[in-house]
Amino acid sequence: MTFLGRAVVALGLPVVCLLLWQIAVSGQRYSLIPPPTEVAMQWWDMLVGGVWDDAYSATMLEHAWASMYRVFGGFGLAAAAGIPLGLLLGRVDLVRRIVDPTLQILRPIPVTAWLPLALILFGIGPKSAFFLVFLGAFWPILLNTVFGVRNADPRLTEAAAMLGVGKTAMFRKVVLPAALPSIFTGLRLSLGISWVVIVIGEMTGVRTGLGAVIMEARQLSRTAVVLSGMVTIGALGFFSDYALLLIGRRLLRWKDGND
């Protein structure tokens, strides 16, 4: 299928949903849900201004950049902590027996439950948002890394050992490459969760960010602004996930037998 054909197929369902949405709310004078045409105008005004020229006009880039900074910052910290710890837990049984019970107790605690503690530890502001995004992104990276290491094909390590490969080289050349597909799965899951958590993270008193805009607009009953923020988060999440997918495909070309 050509690129144009794939684009038509991918856009078919969203277009149908928008048409149904437009039909459902048309003619309702006091509907709390605005039509998609109004949301599109609101989004454009937030991007460049010139439509209503209110407090939200031409602020989209500022808020989007603030949220991206917190999302990628928290996600990066989670990857920097989760991948090495996952490799260690997956490879060293003694460390796993010591650390894993504590991690399994902490893992079910939802991010929302950490919100009051985050405010106590880091105060009102972006540090709390970083911390909450980090927590949301940390667990999928850790668990998928451990899974990838522990499920590496034992025949690979046996063959490498027969060829005289040492423990350090074994880990670097055999175990880590075998775990990479699972690690990238965890990274993609974590990046998606980071965009979910940012709305909660920006409930910590920050003045900028898409989550902050959504919460403020909800209190003011500005539904079009809320939906504009939601659409922007969805688009940024989609493109960032696609970029990570391309990176993963490039690094894992060997898995499909490519150069």
pLDDT digits (tens, 9 = 90+) for 156-196: 666 766 666 666 666 777 778 888 999 999 999 999 999 99
Residue 259 scores a pLDDT above 70: no
Task: Tell me what the pLDDT averaged over the chain comes to.
Answer: 88
Q: Which two tokens stand for residue 160?
A: 């490498």
> DSSP letters along 14-65, please?
HHHHHHHHHHHHTT-TT-SS--HHHHHHHHHHHHH--SS-STTTT-HHHHHH
Is residue 19, in this structure, part of any structural domain at all? no
Query: What pLDDT is recorded for position 60?
Result: 96
Say which residue, 202 or 1, is predicted with more confidence.
Answer: 202
Is residue 105 assigned to a domain? yes
Give yes or no for residue 204 having a pLDDT over 90: no
Q: What is the pLDDT of residues 80-133, one digit of tens each?
A: 999 999 999 988 889 999 999 999 999 999 999 999 999 999 988 889 999 999
Asked if residue 32 belongs to a domain, the reply is no
Domain of residue 175, CATH code: 1.10.3720.10
Q: Nearest 5°: CA angle at 154, between 153 and 155?
A: 90
Query: pTM of the full predicted structure?
Result: 0.88
Q: How far apart are CA 145 and CA 36, in angstroms?
A: 41
Inside any domain, residue 167 = yes
How confident is the model at residue 178, as a pLDDT? 83
**Assigned domain for 54 exists:** yes
Task: Tell me, yes or no, whether 6 lies in a domain.
Answer: no
Whose CA is closest to 249, among 191, 189, 180, 179?
A: 180
Question: Would you say residue 34 lies in a domain?
Answer: no
pLDDT tier at 31 (50, 70, 90 boundaries)? confident
Reported confidence tier of residue 6, pLDDT bands at 50, 70, 90: confident
Residue 169 domain boundaries: 41-253
Share of the chain above pLDDT 90, in %: 63
Report which residue type is found at 157: T
Residues of the chain above pLDDT 70, percent: 90
Q: Is residue 22 part of a domain?
A: no
Q: In which band, very low, low, confident or very high, does the pLDDT at 247 lie, cut at 50, 70 and 90?
A: very high
Q: Give the separation between CA 187 and CA 145, rounded to whole angstroms.
A: 9
Domain count within the chain: 1
Q: Which two tokens stand for residue 59?
A: 């602020």
